[in-house]
Structures are given as C-alpha cells and as structure tokens.
Structure 1
Amino acid sequence: MFIRRTTEYFLYAHKMQTINHHHLLRPSTTLLRPLTANLLTPPQSTMSISSQEENPQQSLSQTLTYHNQTKHSFTNYAKAPRGLDWSNQPNPFRRYISAPLRRLLHPPPNSDDDSPPLYNSLFNSLPNPKPISISTISEFFHNSLALSAWKSTGFSTWSLRVNPSSGNLHPTESYIISPPIESISDSGFVAHYAPKEHSLEIRTQIPSGFFPNFFPNGSFLIGFSSIFWREAWKYGERAFRYCNHDVGHAIGAVAMAAAGMGWDVKLLDGLGHDELKKLMGLDNDFEIPSRLVKGKLNSIEFEHPDCLILVFPNGIAEFDVNYENLSIAISEFSKLDWKGEPNSLSKEHVCWDIIYRTCEAVKKPLTLDAKFIVNPFVKSVNCNEDSHVNITLRELVRKRRSAVDMDGVTSMERDTFYRILLRCLPSGFQDKQKRQLGLPFRAMDWDSEVHCVLFVHRVVGLPKGLYFLVRNEEHFDDLKKSTRSDFKWEKPEGCPSELPLYELGRADCMELSKHLSCHQDIASDGCFSLGMVAHFEPTLRNKGVWMYPRLFWETGVLGQLLYLEAHAVGVSATGIGCFFDNPVHGVLGLTGSNYQSLYHFTVGGPVVDKRIMSLPAYPGPGVDA
C-alpha cells in the first residue's frame, strides 16, 4: 500500500513540475539555468589547490555542501552546461608527448597449454600466480583498462573500453610503477598506460632498491588519477561524483584482471595525496577561482591522484608495509628525470569551482599508523552454477557493454537473481557480511558501507516490489529504525540463508523506479534496478572526510561486478548516475544524511541498435575519436 501511494505522489509531482527536459542515460547533460554572466574574465580571488589550510570541520562542511548542492530534484537539476560545446569536447586519450613509448603485446588465440581461466572459477580460488613479464603485463592491461571495441555510425566513430565510464568520457588515467621488465625497461620505472595504442609511456626510471625494500618479489603498483574537466565538460558540478564512480569501476576491473593472472590486489591507503602525486609524477597546482569561470584554462586539465593499488602474487606470506619509510622514499621521486608533457585536451574550458574546492577538502593525508592487512582469499557463496555461462574471464570482460535501452520483456529466474546478489556480498562465504574479503571487493581495506535497495520488475518466482540487500549486517538494526515503519523486512521465498536480502513491500515499482531515475525508461524496462545506499555522514565523521570519494569507489566496484554478472547470465546492465536523490530517500523513509543514495543500476535484456557498426579494438582508426 505504501509503495502505491508513494508512486501516485511521485507521478503527480512529475506532472506538476515546471521543468520538461529529457535526460541521457547517466546524469543531466543540460543546465536548467543559464551560466553566470561575465564568465570570460577570471575573478581576482583564487586559492591554490596545494596550499589550503587543513581544517577537518571545514572540510566536512565543504563536502556536505557539495553533496547537497549537486543533488537532482523534481524541480531542479544540479548545475551543468546549458548545451554541449562540441568544439571543446575533451580528447578522451591523454598522451605524454616525447615520453618513450613501449608497445605491449596482444594476447594470442587461446591454446590448450595456456587457456585463460573461466570467470566463475575465480570466485572459488585464484590460479597459481604468473611471473611479471611483458606478456603477462600486456594481458593484464588488455583485460582491465584497454579498448574493447570501436563503434561507428554515419560520420561518427568512437571507442569503448573494458572499464566503463559515464558518458564514455573516461576521466580515469592509469599508471604502472614496476621493477624492471624485460622488453619494457631494464630498470624500475613509472609509466602511463595509453589505451588507444595499448602501450606504456615511460615517464621516469626509479631507484633499483625501491621495490625490494618495500614489497614482495613479483609485485608492482597501479595508480589512478582523474581529469575532472573531461567529466565536467558534459555534467557540470555533479562530475566529481561520476569521476569517483569511474575510479571504482577501474579498481574492480583491475582486481578481476589481476585475479585471472593469479595476482591479488590491495589499496595502499596509508599513503596520502602528496605521496600519490609524487609517485605518479603529477602536477596539480591549480588555482581555484572563487566562482564559475569560462575561458582558456589549460591548468584545469591537471590529473588529480586518486589511489594506489599494490598487485602481488596470490598466496604470498603475510607482509607489512612501512608507510613512514615508504613516504620518505617517494619524496625523492620529485628529483627524478621525468619525461613527457601532457597533451592539450580542449581549447577552452569551464571551471566549476565547487568541484575543486571539494577535491581539496577530501584529500587524504599520510596515515603513518595504517596497517596493511592481507586477508586470506575467501570464496563467494555459490547458488545454481548452471545459471552462469562457462565463459573465460578474458571473453567476458571484453564483451561487457553498457546497455542504452532495455527491452521491457526479458525476465530472469529467481535463482539467477539470488546468484547475482550472492556475488555482491563483500565478505563472500562468511556467516556475517561486513569485511570486504571476496573478489573483487577485497581490493578495498574498509568495512563495507554500501547497501542496495532493489526494485524487482521481472524476476520469475519473486513478487514485484521493493527489496533491500544488507551488505554490512552491523547496520541492520539501524537501517530498520531509519526506514519506514511499515516495511516488512522479511526474507523472500527461496532466499538462501546466507543472503541478507529482505522484502520491504510488494507492488509494481516500474513507474516509480523510472521516475526516480530521472524519468528514464531503462530503470523500469529491465529485470530489476537498484539504488546503492551508503552509510554516509557517520562514515565521514568517524573515519575521515577522505572517505567521501571512497564511498563512490565502493559503488563503482559493486557496479563493475554487476556488469560482469549480468553478461555472464546472458543479459546486460547499465550504471545510472542521474536520479532524484532526496525522493529516493523519501521512498525509503530516510531523513537526514546518515544514509544517502550514491549510484543507480539496472539489469535486463538489452536493445541492440543495428545501425551501429562494431569494429575490432586493435588496430583502431588512425585518428582520435
């Protein structure tokens, strides 16, 4: 009854709203208010992104201001460009001009002697680790961050990648920091990965003792950075959210590709912003304007260092990382001979100043007492193995696509639905869900803070309605207390005992889910859709405001798994960044900011546009998309 009344209210609100605008699959691409006048003249007051004083309370206030200011509502969307300036669309490929280029290999056809592992097998145990070589590093990038296809229609040609991105804008750049690899570098090195060329751009060589002093034999590092301008060009102020979604997707992609090589992964989250900046050779001394500015702002194309991942052989004995000594060693990287200058991405820019104030507020400091804990591999709970196709990891990750439309017809069996959700559990085959121990969540070193509210549309054997997946069971009592009092909170029929899934209420939620996701049919035309609800302000207060981007990373990792699971059972999926934040909370009865919806997703049968031609990823067209 409560869902029917809520749906009727939202449909009425939709009819009464004064805004009538169609939105693309992800977030809003159009600002409903014109840009501020006099944007061509930079303001007098600026502050450096590298010189603000640290103030925890002020940082929290800035972060909460950003989050609330960038919410969509029925009557007002977050600020974004009034229209897309196609002449200034950012180049999707960063290159470091004059840096030495080392071509990576393309995987040979599968052979009986060296066949890639099956996707499903990785959730039970990891294969024996392979040694680092140009062949294994090439396959690692090929299965995680490389191009997956080119698409063409009419006069337009564009590329797709293994790691998804909102609007296919790809703000995430990646780096490898590695010991010597034959045919790549005779010494340890830092390199930028160029996906279009499937190559490494050698930025600098590093001291020979760096890896032996800090990490196990057979280890290397992967670093991620974000170019906010690439995302803000289309999405305006909400872009900071989407950049961090994309970082999460990239973490998930790397975790899965590494697993296929017998490698484990873990964020080196004791390091801070300054250490990551030096390690990747990034210059982000950007002057933040005091208001929105438009013009030629080349420095806005800087890369913000996000995170660093240690990739190491699976099954290695427990080891620790001395962050104090590691930080001292990294401080010397600024003295190295760095090669290559970043290419220009656009002729003109718009600076959405709140993005840069917020990225400054959530910078993580160095944490000297942080513990690097490698948890034993925990397999995932299995349910109905027959629902998943026997497909190799390589085939699956490279055929992953974001559906543009769902057919509104395809249904899913209940056991298949449960199987997908079992894979979404952070702790794997454990009595209680809390720690992130299973694949690919084990890359993150904090307890799970993200849950799922599910709108079930077409799951055979399961009533249509609203359901809730509790991914950290310590939050269960608080969730029940914080949500509507008339929710049932009952386990649905046939639900595995290990799956903390609860039925909240029965109703046809198709129209409701559609209108909550910015009136997009794709949210109602699939088998199910969901919103990822994070334990929000208490996490920022108790763990640190730098957890703000990490909450989005966790949603991105979860989204990456949902993509793979959907394709493994023969359907498709799509991440949805455009949703009405507080109306979602209203459906659940949530007030305040203890819990916030950060990302939406939909899973179902895709509609394939046959007008679009698909071309091989490599070799691609000779010009940039």
Structure 2
Amino acid sequence: MLLRCSRRSHCRVPLLPAIHRITMSSSSSTTPLSSAAVEYHCRTKHSLTAGYARGPGRLDWANQPNPFLRFSPSPVIALPNPPPVASSVHYSALFHSPPPPPQPLSLDSLSDLLFHSLALSAWKSAGASTWSLRVNPSSGNLHPTEAHVLFEHPQEPRRLLLSHYAPRDHLLEIRTTVPSANRPALLPPPATAVLALSSIFWREAWKYGERALRYCNHDVGHALAAVALAAATLGWDARLLDGLSDQDLGRLVGVDKGCPAPPVGMPDKMVKGKAPWVERHHPDCALLLFPAGSEPEVDYARISDALRGFDGLEWVGKPNGLSKDHVVWDVIYRTAEAVKKHHPEPGERFSVSPWRKSAQLSEGLYKELKVQEVVRQRRSAVDMDGMHVMTKEQFYQILLHCLPSGEVSPGERQGTQSALPFRVLPWDAEVHAALFVHRVSGMPKGLYFLVRNEEHFDALRLAMRQEFEWARPEGCPDGLPLYRLSKGNYERLAMQISCLQDIASHGCFSLGMIARFEAVLRDKGEWMYPRLFWETGVLGQVLYLEAHAVGISATGIGCYFDDGVHEVLGLKDLEFQSLYHFTVGAPVLDKRIMSLPAYPGPGIDA
C-alpha cells in the first residue's frame, strides 16, 4: 500500500495553452505516525496556494550565525597556502582516464585535498558588506557543514590526530591524539585518512526554518562530491564508511566534547530564546580515503570498538558561539534523531566498485581548464540571461557525466555508482532527473527525463502520465537513457514550480531531481532519508562543475512547489518524490560586486 501525505493542497498551477492544465490535490489519507521521515517530508513541502513550509518570516540579522567555527584553545597545523598542486589533470581527463599515481600523505597533499574541496574560493565585497565563498556550495551560502580529519601526522609517525578543518584560515585544529595502537582498525592499510562531515542545523534554520534539514543534507552531498573529485586528482579513492552508526560518527567528530549539552527532553514546539545547544554538531558521515585501485579491509566492528575509546581521550578546545539568541525548530531535531542509523545492516560490508570512466563525446566541448581551476572558479549564478543557447553536444555531454555507472558496455544498464564522483556512495542510484529544456540548439523545447537507474524504468513509466511519449531524442548517444516526454515551451511552468523564480526559466535547461522514495524508506529504513538528499547533492555538484567547464554557470534551487512538480509528471502518493531543483545557463554578472582572493597572503586579511 502506498504511503500518502496527510497535508492537503488544493492549488491549480496556471499553465501555457500548449500544456495540459493540471489540478493539484493530495490524498486525504493519514501519514503513518511511525514514519518520521515521511511526516517531516510532507510537513515541509511548499505549496503554491497552501503556503510555504514554516520559516522565520524575516531574517534576524542580529543573530545571523557565524559561518566560521573555531575550537579554542587548541594546537593548530598550518597548511601550505596555496598548496603545491600535485596534479595538473585537465578537467575532462579526470573522468575519461585512469586516476593518476597516488600521492603519499603529506601536509602538501592534505592541503591540496582541502584547498580544492572545502576551502574558501574568494571573498566578495559590495558597499559596506564583505562575505566569503567556498569551493563547496551551500544553500544561502550559510555553510552548515564542518569537516574533521583523522590522519597520521606525516612528520611524526605513530601520532594519530583527530583534527577540525578551519577553512577561514586553511588550517587544522588538533582536537585529540589517538593511541597509535588503534591505527590498524581506524586506518586499515593502505588507507590514507578518514574525513568526517557534520552539520550545524542552526546555520540553515536561521534563514529557512523547518525545511533546513533538507538543505543541510543537500550540502553534505555537495561536500562528498567535492572531496571525492579533489581526492581523485591525488590518485586517491573515496568511499563512505556507511556501516558506522550515528553513535560511532558522533564519537569520531566529538559532538559531546566541549559542545553545549542538549536538553533532557526534546522540545515539542518551536521555541525562541537562548538555546546554545542548537549549535551542536549533527554527525553525518565519514569517508575513507585510500589509493585508487586498492581495497582496504574495513572491519566495522573493530572501528566501532576503537571509537568507543574516544570517550576517554583528552579533547582540546571549545567552539566559539555562533549566535546570541536562537530559534529552536523542534521538528528538525526530532526528525534528525528519528532517521539516525543505529547499526550496520545485516551483512553490510565495505566494498569498492571497479573504477569506471565516463563516456565522452569530444574533448573540444570543454574549456582548457585544469580540475583545480574548475572547482575553485565554480560560482552559483544569481540570474541567467535568458538568451544563451547551448549546443546539443554540450547538453548530451553534461548528462553523460551525470550517469552513475559511467560508460557502459552494450547490454549493460545504468544503476551501480562506479563513476566519479558517484562512486563515493555505496548504494545503487535512486535519483533521476526531469528536465525542462529551454535553449538547446537542435533539440525541441520540452519535458525530458533522464533515467539514472534503468532498473526503475518500468516503475517510472507506469507511475507517470500515460500520454508521455518516452521517445529517444534525435542524435542521443546510445549509452544515454534520455527520453522526451512532451514537446512544448515549458519556461513558464519551470518558473512557476520553482517558487516563481525566473532563474528556472532563463537558463538553457532546468531540472527536478526525482528520487525513488517510498520503497527505499520501507525496504532499507528511515536512515536512507538523508542519504537520498546526499545523492542529489552529488549530482548537483556535477552539474555545477560541468556548467563551468563548458563556460556557463548553474544554480541549485531548494525552493520549489513539491506536489506541483509531481502533478506535472503525473506522480501520485510517495512512490517518487522531487528532492532538489537545478538550473543551468549563462549567468548575469553583477558588476557592483568586487571579487577578492580567498587567501591573499600571510598576515593580510581580505
């Protein structure tokens, strides 16, 4: 039996004459109270007529969270700035060639990894305001994601350090030293390091309210992809240690060490006032970094045993406060607690997918840019020009790089995530893309669909509007599972369902990421809820980089009318859900904004 959203909506989306008029209505049945993920997901949907998900209504600038976290006092390791680039791989070659020989772990290589994944990319200034940008994008440029690195100090063998990365100054803060006897369990040979991510929900909730949990998990996905791609330039592979429990991850990042204690009972309503505990970290995930082509023998039980000992270690430093006053959006914390992963799944083990290259149409489709240049020049467009037309070949090439399995042999099907950067995720692809094609030369305007896991094809076709064509576009590469659903001008509709934002219609194309939803939560567990958003973030990072590599830009869109998207596609109930939107096109640059270097030099503060 299909789960249904309890929230009722009665909106009609006004459409262009060439497109079917859509009447939106959600089911009247009740969402099972046992499904916290479903309850949260339905509660935080935006609706054109029923209203937006609960948020602050206005921005409390006096309490805007500090985007930079520091633990003081703690010893620091200054990283080379800028690091010597270990690899000069062209962007397109990274996807189409074997990885370069692996670099040894050193402060240079560790600096290279972080500088090209999680560091600042620029400072911006306009009038009296100055703000920073980062290599990894974030909703609202709020950056809830923090990174922690476990590694053996390359200049002090047998010293295993757990550190926090401080992007403001590009350095590592040593939180604790781990007994060297734990190295074989925590860093099984030939592993290089463990990089863990955590989220501070308050940073996003300050602006977005209840929907912030979605956006924090988008950001985790973007960060995962950023790290995986930066690691690949060093000849390293990256894979989620997804058999660790949330309790294990909490010990790894030290959520209880120096951070404000949570209340004994979770609030059951939104609360305003001083609540420093909302600045606590939520442990998200951990990545194992290791030489490409190898497969470390990971024993999750041994890692968990070693992490239990972290409770007794001496931890250094307390975090700086981020805001004076807070708003506790209770549903965020109750849902995050409910969707935790408490233990490995039966039979779950660490494995590494064979390295697969992505399909390539032509090297000439990309600018002559190194990987490092593309990732550090990536920006989120704030507006599109509404005129630029991209070539059909560029469009197809971008979508080929969105395929999880890379270049497949005849008869193979997309689904296994073995191409960069999707190979960082240990599950088969669950996310597809509904594309609104506006300005692609040689392609009719219309609604298209990219099937990223071909095992889902029959279910998708059955769930969607029966009048859709499902026709292969002219000239579409054989290995690209792209289908035209309907011809027509969808610009106005794309704008309407993306919270009436013109940027969704002014690009070359926009898209909604459609995830298999109900079956994933039912068959695997509610802990997959955040992971579906991680997958959309990984896909979004590819779209960002692909757009910049061909000379245009992109923007992630977290605000859209959820059930409006489903009605356009004919999707009912919760079998499939839209989790993220994106737009790709030529940016309109604001010449009033001055750009400054991210790290101008020793002793110089931009």
TM-score by length of 1: 0.89
**Cα distance between partner residues in 2 of 1:312 and 1:156:** 41
Aligned match for 1:67, one of 13, 34, 41: 41
* Partner SS for 2:180: coil
Give the 3-state SS of the residue equivalent to 1:152 in structure 2: strand
Q: Which residue of 2 aligns with 1:130?
A: 103
Partner of 1:447: 428
| Shift, 1:6, TM fit | 8.0
Cα-to-partner distance string for 1:183-209 (whole Å, 9 max, x where unaligned): 7x8710100000001000000001112
Q: Is this contact kept in 1: 2:435–2:512, CA < 8 A?
A: yes
1:375 is aligned, of 353, 359, 366, to 353
CA gap 1:58/1:308 in 2 versus in 1, 3 angstroms: farther
Alpha-carbon shift at residue 254 of structure 1 (Å): 0.2
Give the secondary structure class of the aligned counterpart of 2:168: coil
Structure 1 residue 281, shift from structure 2 partner: 1.0
Could you list the runs of 5+ residues in structure 2 that have no partner in the other structure? Answer: 1-13, 25-30
Structure 1's 621 and 68: CA in aligned 2 closer, same or farther, altered over 3 A? Answer: farther
Contact map agreement 1:413 1:461 (CA 8 A) in 2: yes
Matched, 1:389 2:367: yes
Q: Look up the match of 1:38.
A: none
Please give the alpha-carbon distance, in whole angstroms, between the structure 2 residues aligned to 1:374 and 1:441. 12
Distance 1:105 1:65, change over 3 A: same
Correspondence 1:234-245 to 2 at 5 A: 234-245=207-218
How many Å separate the matches in 2 of 1:409 and 1:72?
29
Q: Which residue is equivalent to 2:164?
A: 192
Shift of 1:308: 0.4
1:82 aligns with 2:57: yes
Partner of 1:480: 461
Letter in 2 for 1:128: P
Distance 2:601 2:545 in 1: 24
Secondary structure at the counterpart of residue 217 of structure 1: coil
The question of 1:341 aligning with 2:318 is answered yes
1:334 and 1:93 map into 2 onto residues whose CA distance is 26
The amino acid across from 1:85 in the alignment is: D
Aligned partners of 1:118 and 1:416: how far apart in 2?
A: 17
How many Å separate the matches in 1 of 2:364 and 2:557? 29
- SS of aligned partner of 2:35: helix
Alignment deviations for residues 86-119 of structure 1 (CA, whole Å, 9 cap, x no partner)? 0000000011110112111123576xxx552111
- Cα distance in structure 2, aligned partners of 1:568 and 1:157: 27
Q: Give the CA deviation at 1:225.
A: 0.3
Residue 140 (structure 1) aligns with: 113
> What is residue 302 of structure 1 aligned with on the other side?
280
1:356 and 2:330 equivalent?
no
Greater mean alpha carbon deviation, residues 457-466 or residues 360-369: 360-369
Q: For residues 109-168 of structure 1, give each alpha carbon's deviation from its aligned partner in whole angstroms, at most 9, with x where no partner exists.
A: 76xxx5521111111211000000000001110000000000000000000000000000
> Counterparts of 1:456 and 1:491 in 2: how far apart (Å)?
14
Q: Which residue of 2 aligns with 1:567?
A: 548
CA deviation vs aligned residue, 1:455-500 (integer Å, no higher than 9, x gap): 0000000000000000000000010000000000011000001000
Task: Find runs of 4+ consecutive structure 1 residues off by over 6 angstroms.
Answer: 620-625
Judge which range, 135-144 or 115-124, deviates more.
115-124
Aligned to 2:77, which of 102, 107, 114? 102
> Do the aligned residues in 2 keep the contact of 1:117 with 1:392 (CA within 8 Å)?
yes
CA deviation profile, 1:214-273 (whole Å, cap 9, x unmatched): 512352000000000000000000000000000000000000000010000000000000
**In the alignment, is the contact (CA less than 8 A) between 2:195 and 2:287 conserved in 1?**
yes
Q: 1:164 aligns with which of 131, 134, 137?
A: 137
| Amino acid in structure 2 at the alignment position of 1:237 | E
Distance (Å, rounded) in 2 between the aligned partners of 1:6 and 1:178: 59
Quick check: 1:405 aligned with 2:380?
A: no
| Number of the residue aligned with 2:229 | 256
Q: Does the 8 A contact of 1:196 with 1:620 survive in 2?
A: no
Distance in 2, matches of 1:326 and 1:418, equals 43
1:566-605 correspondence runs (5 A): 566-605=547-586
Alignment of 1:506-585 (within 5 A): 506-585=487-566
Alignment match, 1:27? none
Matches within 5 A, 1:408-427: 408-427=386-405
Return the offset for 1:58: 7.6
Q: Which moved more, 1:73-82 or 1:58-67?
A: 58-67
Residue 290 of structure 2 is matched in structure 1 by 312
Assess, with a 3 A threshold, how the Cα gap between structure 1 residues 577 and 478 changes in structure 2: closer, same or farther.
same
Aligned equivalent of 1:223, options 196, 200, 204: 196
1:331 aligns with 2:318: no
Aligned to 1:617: 598
Out of 202, 206, 228, the residue aligned to residue 178 of structure 2 is 206
Instruction: Answer whether contact 2:83 2:115 (CA < 8 A) is retained.
Output: no
8 Å CA contact 1:129, 1:313 repeated in 2 = yes
- Within-5 A mapping of 1:432-511: 432-511=413-492
* Aligned residues: CA RMSD: 2.0
**Conserved in 1, the CA contact under 8 Å of 2:40 and 2:331?**
yes
Of 262, 268, 271, the residue aligned with 1:286 is: 262
Normalised by the length of structure 2, the TM-score is 0.92
Q: Secondary structure at the match of 1:412?
A: coil
Q: Which runs of 5+ in 1 are unaligned?
A: 14-56
Distance 2:169 2:206 in 1: 25
Residues 1:175 and 2:148 aligned together: yes
* Paired residues, number: 575
1:430-452 C-alpha deviation (Å, 9 max, x unpaired) = 22101100000000000100000
* Of 96, 119, 130, the match for 2:91: 119
> Residue 29 of structure 1 corresponds to which residue in structure 2?
none
